[in-house]
C-alpha cells in the first residue's frame, strides 16, 4: 500500500493530484528562494490574516523554503497520499487535503500570537494521517492489520518528532491530525463495522516470537525508517 512500484509516467497517470501538488511544491519552493517579495506575499503571517489577507490560510500549505523541508513533505505525500487519492477520487481528495491544511492554519491563527509566521504542507499531511487513523479503528474494511501497524508506528514517531524538533508548528500538526480524523467519516463513510478494531487485533503477535517478515513488509519498514531518519536529520542540515 505504501510501497511505490510505478514508474514516473504511470505514477502521474494514476495519481494526478499528488503529482500536481508535488509540482506546485517545487515551483513555489524555487520561486520563494528566488523572490523575497513572493515569499513575503504568500507566507502564513497571523497579523496579516487578521487584517484580511485570507489567502495566507491556503498558500502556506504548498510553500517551503528549506530544501529538506520541501523534500521531506513531498516524499511523505508521495508515500502516503496515493492510497487516499485512489479511495476518494481526485476531487474529494483535493477538497480533503486543502480543507485539512486550512483547518490546521486556522488553528495556528487562533492559538499562536499575531506575529507568528509559518509555512509548509505538514498540517495537510497530518490530516491524511488522521484519515488513516480513522480507517485503522473504524474502517477495517479499508485497511488491513499489516498496514495499520505501519500507520500507528508512523503516528507515534510523527508525534514524538513534532514535540522534539525545534521550529515545528505543533499546533498545525496536531490540529491537522484532528481535522483529518473528524473529516474522515464525511469523505469515506462510516462503513459496516459494528465496533472499533482493537489494538490487540492489529498487533496480535506483540510480545511473542515473530514470524519471518515477507520481503514486501521488510521494504515497507526500510522506507519508513529511512523517512524518519531523514526527517530527524533535516533539523541539522
- Alpha-carbon separation of residue 102 from 5, 81, 91, 180 (angstroms): 31, 17, 16, 11
Q: Is 215 among the catalytic positions?
A: no
Count CB atoms within 10 A of the CB of residue 94: 16
Could you give the C-alpha distances from 181 to 31, 133, 137, 173, in angstroms and in order?
33, 7, 11, 12
Euclidean distance between CA atoms 221 and 199, whole angstroms: 19
What is the C-alpha to C-alpha distance for residues 206 and 200, in angstroms, rounded to an integer?
8
Mean pLDDT calculated for residue range 164-183:
90
3-class DSSP assignment, residue 145: helix
- Indicate the pLDDT class of residue 210, thresholds 50, 70 and 90: low
Pick the more confident residue, 165 or 186: 186
For 218, residues 6+ apart whose C-beta sits below 8 A from its C-beta are: none
Q: Could you tell me which residue, 191 or 7, shows the higher pLDDT?
A: 7
Residues 6+ apart with CB under 8 A from 15: 81, 82, 85, 86
Coil, helix or strand for 196? coil
Ramachandran quadrant class, 22 (left: phi over 0; alpha: psi -120 to 50; beta: rest): alpha
Q: What are phi and psi of 26, to 5 degrees?
A: -65, -45
Quote the strand ranges of the chain, DSSP E.
44-45, 117-118
235 pLDDT higher than 50: no
Q: Name the phi and psi angles at 176, rounded to 5.
A: -65, -45
Catalytic residue among 173, 194, 205, 234: 173
Predicted confidence at residue 148, as pLDDT, reads 87
pLDDT at 17: 97
Between 233 and 193, whose confidence is greater? 193
Within 8 A by CB and 6+ apart from 177, the residues are: 126, 127, 129, 130, 133, 155
Q: How many alpha carbons lie under 13 Å from residue 55 in its C-beta half-sphere?
A: 7
Q: How confident is the model at residue 140 (pLDDT cuts 50, 70, 90)?
A: confident
Q: For 41-89, what is each residue's pLDDT tens digit? A: 999 999 999 999 999 999 999 999 999 889 989 988 998 999 999 999 9
- Residues 67 and 111: their CA atoms lie apart, in Å, by 27
Q: Give the active site residue among 74, 76, 122, 148.
A: 122
For the question of residue 122 being annotated catalytic, the response is yes
Q: Which domains does the chain have, with CATH numbers?
A: 8-236 (1.20.1540.10)
Amino acid at each position: 500500500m505504501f510501497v511505490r512500484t510505478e514508474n514516473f509516467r504511470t505514477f502521474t497517470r494514476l495519481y494526478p493530484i499528488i503529482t500536481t501538488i508535488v509540482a506546485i511544491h517545487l515551483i513555489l519552493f524555487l520561486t520563494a528562494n528566488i523572490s523575497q517579495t513572493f515569499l513575503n506575499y504568500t507566507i502564513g503571517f497571523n497579523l496579516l490574516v487578521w487584517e484580511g489577507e485570507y489567502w495566507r490560510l491556503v498558500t502556506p500549505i504548498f510553500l517551503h523554503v528549506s530544501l529538506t523541508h520541501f523534500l521531506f513533505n513531498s516524499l511523505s505525500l508521495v508515500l502516503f497520499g496515493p492510497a487516499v487519492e485512489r479511495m476518494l477520487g481526485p476531487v474529494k481528495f483535493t477538497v480533503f487535503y486543502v480543507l485539512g491544511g486550512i483547518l490546521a492554519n486556522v488553528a495556528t491563527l487562533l492559538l499562536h500570537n499575531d506575529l507568528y509566521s509559518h509555512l509548509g504542507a505538514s498540517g495537510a499531511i497530518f490530516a491524511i494521517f488522521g484519515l488513516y487513523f480513522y480507517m485503522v479503528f473504524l474502517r477495517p474494511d479499508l485497511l488491513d492489520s499489516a498496514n495499520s501497524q505501519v500507520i500507528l508506528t508512523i503516528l507515534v514517531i510523527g508525534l514524538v518528532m513534532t514535540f522534539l524538533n525545534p521550529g515545528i508548528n505543533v499546533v498545525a500538526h496536531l490540529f491537522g491530525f484532528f481535522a483529518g480524523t473528524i473529516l474522515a467519516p464525511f469523505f469515506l463513510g462510516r462503513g459496516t463495522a459494528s465496533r472499533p478494531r482493537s489494538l490487540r487485533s492489529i498487533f496480535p503477535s506483540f510480545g511473542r516470537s515473530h514470524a519471518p517478515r515477507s520481503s514486501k513488509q521488510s521494504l515497507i519498514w526500510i522506507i519508513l525508517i529511512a523517512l524518519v531518519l531523514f526527517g530527524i536529520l533535516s533539523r541539522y542540515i
